[in-house]
Amino acid sequence: MKRILITGGTGSFGKAFVEYILKNKPDVSRLVVFSRDELKQWEMQQLFPVDQYPQLRFFLGDIRDQNRLKRALERIDTVVHAAALKQVPVAEYNPIEFINTNVLGSENVVQACLDTSVQRVVALSTDKAAAPINLYGATKLCSDKLFVAANNVKGERDIRFSVVRYGNVMGSRGSVIPFFLEKAKTGILPITDTKMTRFNISLTQGVDMVIWALANALGGELFVPKIPSYRISDVADAVGPSCKKPIVGIRPGEKIHEEMITSSDSFCTIDLGQYYAILPSDGHTLLKYQNYGIKFQKVQEGFSYNSGSNPDFLNVQQIREMIRQHVNPGFSPL
């Protein structure tokens, strides 16, 4: 991991990943931020000026453009694929745009990596890709399948493709906590459904997981972290205990609970301790784990990992502490 490119590098995860690499990986000689928004790139350059971080490069481009990707990937050995369109209601209204970016764009990344000197690829997924009921989740499931299947056509190339799937990133753009923090100023926090739950992961945990996957993936795995859940109603109570909380109903394409491993996945899922890994059903990757002597346990048939049945839930006070730690250090409930 000497020369890294991250697609969607100006997003919430991208910024956190870049900051981690710059602070903790001095042996990385080249770190390329690939994204399509020139303003966000300029803003990021102010945070990480070139005179302090000469290894950092910004490459303007879109994953829909395979030729541009190939040029950006010259002399790159490691790729983190974080670029995606993500808003569930927007996907329902503009489906083809999500298909063009999340599916066809992901295939462009796969092909560009196969055509260059890339050796390690980790793609970011989402809990909404497990048994998807919305267009966004369906496109991310397609993306997951593309990256897993890429290992079948690598031939003699020294390259491994894997995927990490996790839940809502605390404090990321468009997520519920920043939304509630802003809405609390009005005295009203709209709640979709009092029964709704979601998985929760911090940006730091997400970055750590990707770094771990880059170092440990054998190729073909879809990694899932063991993380807590929260109730949307508890998030509202944590942010604005004195606010009014009208029930507004779920948005198009939303689930009451999110799932990261379905019962159908259980036949191919192993427990690695800190993470689960959903392996390809052909058994080749499982055989690698056995041959390499990696410790794991197969999960029980019928096992599923669901935010509603998850035994680990954050309470209101824990949510407040996590908001202070990961989103707003000066936060106080309204």
Other Cβ atoms closer than 10 A to 97: 15
Contact 268, 300 (CB under 8 A): no
**CA-to-CA dists, residue 16 to 24, 48, 165, 229, angstroms:** 12, 12, 17, 22
Which DSSP category does 186 fall into? G
Burial of 155 (C-beta count, 10 Å sphere; 0-12/13-18/19+): exposed
Using only C-alpha atoms, the chain has a radius of gyration, in whole angstroms, of 20
**Structure tokens belonging to residue 29:** 């000689």
Which residues are known catalytic residues?
A: 128
Compute the distance between CA of residue 184 and CA of residue 178 in angstroms, rounded to an integer: 10
